[in-house]
Structure 1
Amino acid sequence: MIDNPKVALVTGAAQGIGRGIVHCLLERNWRVVLFDIDEAAGQQYLEQLAEGRAATFIAGDVANEADVRRCLEQTLEWGGRLDALVNNAGLADPHSGPVEELALADWQRRLDVNLTGPFLMAKHAVPALRATRGAIVNISSTRAWQSEPQCESYAASKGGVVALTHALAMSLGPDVRVNSISPGWIDVRAQQADAPDNLKPLPDNAHAQHPAGRVGKAEDIGSLAAYLASSEAAFITGQDFIVDGGMTRKMIYN
């Protein structure tokens, strides 16, 4: 029997950080709806979850308003309520090539998924979240705060997520809390649908460059997302939490 009747909806749940978030929520006895455009990966992950876990999968695109509306309807049909929305879905590869060669369609698709997606999910989830005094957790990136070359569309979309977070927090409070998480380097190879059984470990220098002593794991983000979604974080809203092993605080000289 599930001790906690609360329901969370996680976008981009089929792979990567999304799987880590789902895992941490299930460990805390949430009921979880997995929403992802990749139906094969989503169904595969659902089958991998331990028997008795209260989870279901819905296929769809966060950038398609009809899909989003349908997702919220099916979520409420399945769970009867909604207590937390975790906007994790995104096009993950930050590199889009030289800005002078960046096609408008590629720029727009990145913004559609990474930024418009969280807006649409929030728009249609708010009535249900207000009813439960729930929470929204948006997944941004440290690239909202610092950049490498040729990452304009990704950085712009993730910077927009941080701004959307504090704007929503002001608009929806005190009924709904809204926070974001900006992950740094998170090793999600084991959380991919096509992950091999014998993953090679990352090189020592990958871990050593982090002040925390290692590269991040999906569960590092998942545990914080679960906390921010819970009533334990009742006094936290409008904030962005950088989870990067200390890298954005590190002075680097050549």
Structure 2
Amino acid sequence: MTDRVAVLTGAEGGLGQAVAQRLGRDGFSLILGHRPGSEITSNHSLERAMPVPADVTSEADMRHLVDTAVSRHGRVDVLVTLAGVMEQKFLPELDLATWNQTLAVNLTGTFLAVTAAADELRKTRGAVVTIGSQLGYTGGLNCAAYSASKAGVGGLTRALARELGPDVRVNCVAPGPIETPMTAAHATPEWSETKTRQLVMHRFGTADEVATAVSWLAGQETSFVTGQTINVNGGGVMP
């Protein structure tokens, strides 16, 4: 097949589904990595998509995810690392297991996915889009593990851009508060009001708005953009 192929991790989440649908409309064939035991909502616009159970903390699973793309389509053009977890705990309650799991999924999982796909991306002069967070800049109240992991994703993105360039572009999308099932779990009225009050746009973003930024970085129009973080945060942080 000659069309472009995108591999996603975390495709079962709210952002993952929006990105998958956008890249599907852009003409990509998709390999949709998802957490084992989870399901990806069926959508008629994803006819050229193949779900693959894949634990981002497993080196073998990440290799299998990439190998599936190569076996099915013969290439990998884009990798999007969407898998992420967030559990809010103040420092006295933040146990080592939660810390380790958060960094394992958000940061180490990004590293393992890129490591697995790097050789194939070099062949196609492809692109990586990682997913950071506004909290990677500001830190977040009772979000030490999540904030640290996402700050790490930003640093890892810049290091990988240097190491994989000029053959592979590596960029990051850092959302602010976005309406997804993950944020809905924390969205009390007080929490939502505090978050939106801090934003220039005075509202939550949508998963589709994040997907638009991912699509742009995955496309050929950004062939001279690498090592950058695109902040989709309604003006909450302007680094």
The change in CA–CA distance for 1:189 and 1:103 in structure 2 (over 3 A counts) is closer
Give the aligned length.
233
The change in CA–CA distance for 1:136 and 1:147 in structure 2 (over 3 A counts) is same
The corresponding residue for 1:232 is 221
Q: Deviations over 1:102-134 (max 9, x none)?
A: 222221111111000010111110110000000
The corresponding residue for 2:189 is none
Shift of 1:168: 0.2
**Given residue 223 of structure 2, which amino acid in structure 1 is its aligned partner?**
A
Question: For the Cα contact (< 8 Å) 2:14–2:207, is it kept in 1?
Answer: yes
- Percentage of matched positions with identical amino acids: 36
Shift of 1:188: 1.7
Decide which of 204, 211, 218 is 2:207's aligned counterpart. Answer: 218
Partner of 1:9, secondary structure, is strand
Shift of 1:52: 6.6
Q: Deviations over 1:114-166 (max 9, x none)?
A: 00001011111011000000000000100100123221111110000000000
Partner of 2:237, secondary structure, is helix
Partner of 1:90, secondary structure, is coil
User: Structure 2: where are the runs of 5+ without partners?
Assistant: 185-191
The corresponding residue for 2:52 is 58
Partner of 1:110, secondary structure, is helix
Larger radius of gyration: 1
Superposition TM-score, scaled by structure 1 size = 0.84
The corresponding residue for 1:80 is 74
The corresponding residue for 1:200 is none
Superposition TM-score, scaled by structure 2 size = 0.89
* Correspondences of 1:12-161 after superposition (within 5 Å): 12-42=10-40, 45=41, 47=42, 49-50=43-44, 53-93=47-87, 95-98=88-91, 100-161=92-153
* Shift >6 Å, 4+ stretches: 203-206
Q: Deviations over 1:21-78 (max 9, x none)?
A: 1111011111111101144422xx1x2x116721010002101111111111112112
CA RMSD of aligned residues (A): 2.5
User: Structure 1: where are the runs of 5+ without partners?
Assistant: 193-202, 250-254
The change in CA–CA distance for 1:63 and 1:52 in structure 2 (over 3 A counts) is closer
The change in CA–CA distance for 1:105 and 1:40 in structure 2 (over 3 A counts) is closer
